[in-house]
């Protein structure tokens, strides 16, 4: 499980430092101890400062989970940076973000931090607490009343760790104590009767049931019998002892435990807390306060009591994760020991993938940072070599019949892929090599960026993760499975298409790992495309030597303007000029024009008609530009992918898998051609099986971060069905 430890120590990253500053901080030793303990528990740990950057940090560390995946948890050690209710800040943010966390809710922390509110709740529930009054300023009238007699305790009503705590024995000391609290904390003073007797605290762990640790007694060998802030940070000059279990009569111990649990429930605490008591000379208990964030410092009473209860530090930290997980998700999330996990390979695969989400993104980063442009044979060779190594480690064998060694490579399991599944992905990023720099991998909370990350790398990684998962559960070699990799996507599969056609004809179904659409949508229909080069050459002409209608550029533009009229949107036919370049000498008019025209279509017959009309448009008429020469060449053709009954049945299977595993799924049509168009009719084929993308073929190309895991899982589940 991913666990983020959030604390407040060094950072003051807020918009403004305003209000009451926090004086509580965890030491680095404690943070390191918790990190080590949870790491030993098998969790993925990262620590963060609880400042204004925490939302971005958590979004990056804990991306949105898929249904059934264990969400991450926050181990909350944050006391806040500033403000009266600073304990509530991080829990409030976590509630808004939907991230589970260890510890009580913002409402509970707000009440527990306010000692007056705590006492009011305790009294309302019939729980014993010392008599008290509240003084808002140093300007108050004496006497306080017959019920409160010296000695008294004064303390800020909403501070912790005994800040401002002192005993006052007369009116002057009372005024001084209230003035000190008002001046130092700008806080209201809680004035409470002093209970002569013993100081006891009870640590609590769990929710249903709540476990009470053995009582801890604070023994004061000298000085006033109150536990001050100076005592806690060891600057008071006196030594205090802690005794656990406290030497109490059994019935007194049981009464204290019962009262502690009642106070825990009265304030609606979760997971852990510590209740502080004073016991008078007749063994009557009084609740002083409820600490909703009991210190996990190694020298604290809570940790000491847990150890006496049989929970050493590492066990205590991991037990806190367990009780929190049970509260949010139920006991099944705690471990994978149930038969449901052991007997179902799909569930085992699910667990394997979800627990390795970080490795999935790290693998994607490594592939994305390995450039292989279409015109870069060195980069392409490096990618092929790495794939050969990975497939060899997985036990896949090369298939020479469907490999060209230059543009197409095929591997298969021991069972072969005939009548099985053929996975298809490109390794080239559609861009000519020889200039510029690759765009490195980077992530934000929702998207993963990098050159070719959508057009190539995400598909490769999805395939590798699916194969790794099948291999880890001994389901790979028995699977009829092949992988077809090609390196000329940027050239319209000019060289690899024939190999894919033959390999796909032998397969029972084909899955193309091109990007899909948001919401888990795959592609069952893609337009085909044709790319044409138009070269127009004419005479050299000086500016002004002929009328403007006779120059080559005007002649070309008058015809290029008609190209748009060939489009038929209702028939899914689009014809557009993609680029135009002209050549001229010095002050002369252009004598040569090169243009690229791009046609997308579903119906090849309509594309044929458009091509014929294109030739007609640029055929010079009688007596018109007699010296003009026009050359039209089809540079590239990619077939369309049309919906079929075979593909519809495959989609039904995928939809059923997605419903069973609560994965998003849908179907969409695409304007762009892909390798799926090369699959022969009669073979079911699904395209767009990669994660949803944005800004394809630009420097901002990216994939949806949450869909990376979803796609790898869906592919694995599909292969497990075969």
| pLDDT tens digit sequence for 691-709 | 999 999 888 999 998 899 9
Q: pLDDT tens across 491-512, in order?
A: 999 999 999 999 999 999 999 9
pLDDT at 451: 92
Q: What pLDDT is attached to residue 687?
A: 96
Considering the domain architecture, whether residues 262 and 251 belong to the same structural domain is answered as yes
Q: Regarding predicted confidence, which is higher, 506 or 375?
A: 506
Question: Of 144-148, 218-222, 586-590, 623-627, which range is least confident?
Answer: 623-627
Is residue 175, in this structure, part of any structural domain at all?
Answer: no
The total number of residues written for the chain in this structure: 722
Domain interval for residue 672: 354-526+641-721
CATH number for position 371: 3.40.630.10
Distances (CA, A) of 192 to 150, 152, 588: 10, 6, 99
**Position 342 pLDDT exceeds 70:** no
pLDDT for 631: 94
- 334 confidence band (pLDDT: 50, 70, 90): very low
What is the chain's mean pLDDT, rounded? 89
Task: Identify the residue whose tokens are 């000329």.
Answer: 488
* Least confident piece of the model among 111-115, 116-120, 543-547, 611-615: 543-547
The structure tokens listed for 104 are 């009580």
The CATH number of residue 92's host domain is: 3.40.50
For residue 527, the model assigns a pLDDT of 95
- Among the three residues 595, 611, 638, which one is the final residue of a domain in this structure? 638
Last residue of a domain, one of 638, 653, 677: 638
pLDDT in tens, 142-182: 878 768 888 999 988 887 655 678 888 898 889 888 898 88
| Structural domain includes residue 440 | yes
* Same domain assignment for residues 564 and 479: no
State the pLDDT confidence band at 349, using cuts at 50, 70 and 90: confident
The mean pLDDT value for 28-45 works out to 91
Between 71 and 701, whose confidence is greater? 701
Q: b/e per residue, 557-588, with b = 16+ CB within 10 A?
A: eebbeebeebbeeeebbbbeeeeeeeebeeee
The answer on 567 and 541 residing in a single domain is: yes
- Identify whether 503 is part of a domain: yes
CA 460 vs CA 469, 478, 510: distances in Å: 14, 21, 15
Sign of CA dihedral 87, 88, 89, 95: positive
Quote the tokens at residue 17.
């430092």
Give the per-residue pLDDT at 336.
43
Shared domain check, 247 and 207: yes
pLDDT reported for residue 547:
54
pTM: 0.74
Are residues 371 and 501 located together in one domain of the fold?
A: yes
**Is the model's pLDDT at 338 over the cut of 70?**
no
pLDDT of residue 21: 72
453 and 431 share a domain? yes
How many domains would you assign to the chain? Answer: 4
* Same domain, residue pair 379 and 464: yes
- Dump pLDDT digits (tens) for 125-145: 999 999 999 998 888 878 787
Identify whether residues 381 and 483 lie together within a single domain.
yes
Classify residue 394: in a domain, yes or no.
yes
Cβ within 8 Å of residue 594, ≥6 positions away? 533, 534, 535, 536, 580, 581, 582, 583
**Helices of type H across 41-170:** 54-61, 89-97, 106-113, 115-124
Does a structural domain hold residue 672?
A: yes
Judgement on whether residues 243 and 379 belong to the same structural domain of the protein:
no
Do residues 472 and 586 both lie within one domain? no
Whole-number pLDDT of residue 354: 81
Report d(CA 562, CA 556) in Å as an integer: 10
CATH number, domain containing residue 304: 3.30.470.20
CATH number, residue 585: 3.30.70.360
Residues 691, 572 share a domain: no
Assess whether pLDDT exceeds 60 at residue 203. yes
Does residue 161 fall inside a structural domain? no
Given 588, 608, 638, which residue is the final one in a domain? 638
Tell whether 177 is covered by a domain. Answer: no
Task: Specify whether 272 is located in the same domain as 386.
Answer: no
Instruction: Report pLDDT digits (tens) over 316-333.
Output: 999 999 999 999 887 644
Asked if pLDDT for residue 339 goes beyond 70, the answer is no
Radius of gyration of the chain (CA): 36
Q: Summarize pLDDT for 652-669 with one digit per residue, the tens.
A: 999 999 999 989 999 999
Is there a domain that residue 400 lies in?
yes
What's the pLDDT band for 237 if we cut at 50, 70, 90?
low
68 against 281, higher pLDDT: 281
Q: What is the dihedral of CA 65, 70, 72, 75, to 10 degrees?
A: 160
């Amino acid at each position: 499980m991913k666990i983020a430890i959030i604390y407040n120590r060094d950072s003051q990253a807020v918009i403004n430092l305003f209000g009451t500053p926090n004086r509580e901080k965890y030491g680095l030793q404690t943070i390191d101890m918790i990190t080590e303990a949870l790491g030993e528990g098998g969790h993925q740990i990262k620590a963060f400062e609880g400042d204004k950057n925490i939302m971005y940090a958590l979004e990056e560390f804990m991306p949105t989970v898929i249904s059934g995946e264990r969400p991450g948890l926050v181990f909350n050690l944050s006391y806040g940076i500033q403000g009266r209710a600073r304990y509530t800040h991080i829990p409030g943010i976590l509630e808004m973000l939907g991230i589970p966390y260890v510890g009580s809710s913002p409402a509970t922390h707000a009440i527990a931090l306010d000692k007056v509110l705590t006492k009011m709740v305790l009294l309302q529930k019939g729980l014993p607490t010392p008599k008290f009054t509240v003084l808002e300023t140093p300007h108050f009238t004496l006497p306080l009343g017959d019920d409160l007699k010296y000695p008294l305790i004064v303390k800020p009503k909403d501070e912790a760790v005994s800040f401002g705590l002192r005993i006052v024995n007369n009116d002057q000391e009372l005024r001084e104590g209230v003035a000190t609290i008002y001046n130092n904390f700008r806080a209201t003073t809680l004035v409470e009767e002093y209970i002569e007797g013993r100081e006891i605290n009870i640590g609590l762990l769990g929710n249903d049931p709540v476990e009470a640790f053995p009582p801890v007694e604070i023994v004061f060998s000298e000085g006033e019998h109150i536990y001050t802030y100076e005592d806690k940070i060891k600057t008071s000059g006196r030594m205090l002892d802690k005794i656990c279990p406290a030497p109490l009569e059994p019935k007194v111990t049981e009464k204290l435990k019962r009262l502690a649990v009642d106070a825990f429930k009265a304030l609606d605490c979760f997971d852990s807390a510590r209740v502080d008591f004073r016991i008078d000379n007749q063994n009557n208990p009084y609740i002083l306060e409820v600490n909703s964030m009991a210190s996990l410092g190694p020298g604290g009473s809570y940790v000491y009591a847990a150890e006496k209860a049989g929970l050493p530090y590492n066990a205590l930290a991991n037990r806190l994760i367990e009780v929190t997980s049970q509260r949010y998700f139920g006991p099944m999330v705690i471990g994978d020991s149930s038969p449901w996990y052991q007997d179902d390979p799909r569930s085992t695969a699910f667990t394997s993938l979800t627990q390795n989400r970080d490795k999935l993104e790290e693998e994607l980063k490594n592939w994305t940072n390995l450039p292989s442009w279409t015109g870069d044979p060195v980069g392409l060779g490096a990618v092929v070599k790495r794939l050969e190594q990975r497939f060899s480690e997985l036990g896949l064998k090369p298939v020479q019949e469907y490999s060209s060694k230059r543009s197409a490579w095929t591997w298969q399991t021991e069972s072969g892929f005939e009548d099985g599944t053929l996975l298809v992905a490109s390794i080239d990023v559609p861009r000519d090599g020889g200039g510029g720099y690759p765009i490195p991998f980077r992530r934000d909370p929702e998207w993963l960026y990098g050159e070719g990350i959508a057009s190539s790398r995400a598909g490769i990684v999805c395939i590798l993760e699916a194969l790794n998962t099948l291999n880890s559960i001994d389901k790979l070699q028995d699977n009829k499975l092949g992988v077809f990799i090609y390196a000329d996507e940027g050239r319209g599969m000019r060289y690899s298409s024939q190999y894919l056609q033959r390999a796909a004809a032998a397969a029972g179904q084909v899955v193309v790992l091109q990007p899909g659409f948001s919401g888990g949508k795959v592609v069952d229909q893609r337009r085909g495309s044709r790319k044409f080069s138009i070269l127009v050459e004419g005479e050299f002409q000086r500016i002004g030597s002929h009328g403007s209608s006779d120059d080559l550029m005007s002649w070309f533009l008058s015809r290029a303007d008609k190209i748009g009229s060939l489009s038929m949107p209702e028939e899914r036919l689009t014809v557009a000029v993609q680029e135009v370049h002209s050549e001229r000498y010095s002050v002369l008019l252009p004598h040569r024009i090169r243009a690229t025209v791009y046609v997308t279509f579903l119906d090849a017959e309509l594309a044929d008609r458009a091509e014929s009309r294109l030739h007609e448009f640029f055929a010079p008429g009688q007596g018109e530009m007699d010296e003009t020469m026009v050359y039209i060449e089809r540079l590239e053709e990619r077939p369309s992918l049309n919906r079929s009954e075979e593909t519809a049945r495959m989609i039904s299977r995928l939809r059923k898998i997605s419903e069973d595993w609560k994965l998003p799924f849908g179907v969409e049509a695409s304007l762009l051609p892909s390798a799926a168009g090369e699959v022969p009719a009669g073979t079911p084929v699904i395209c767009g099986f990669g994660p949803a993308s944005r800004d394809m073929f630009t420097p901002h190309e990216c994939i949806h971060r949450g869909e990376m895991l979803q796609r790898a899982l869906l592919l694995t589940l599909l292969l497990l069905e075969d």
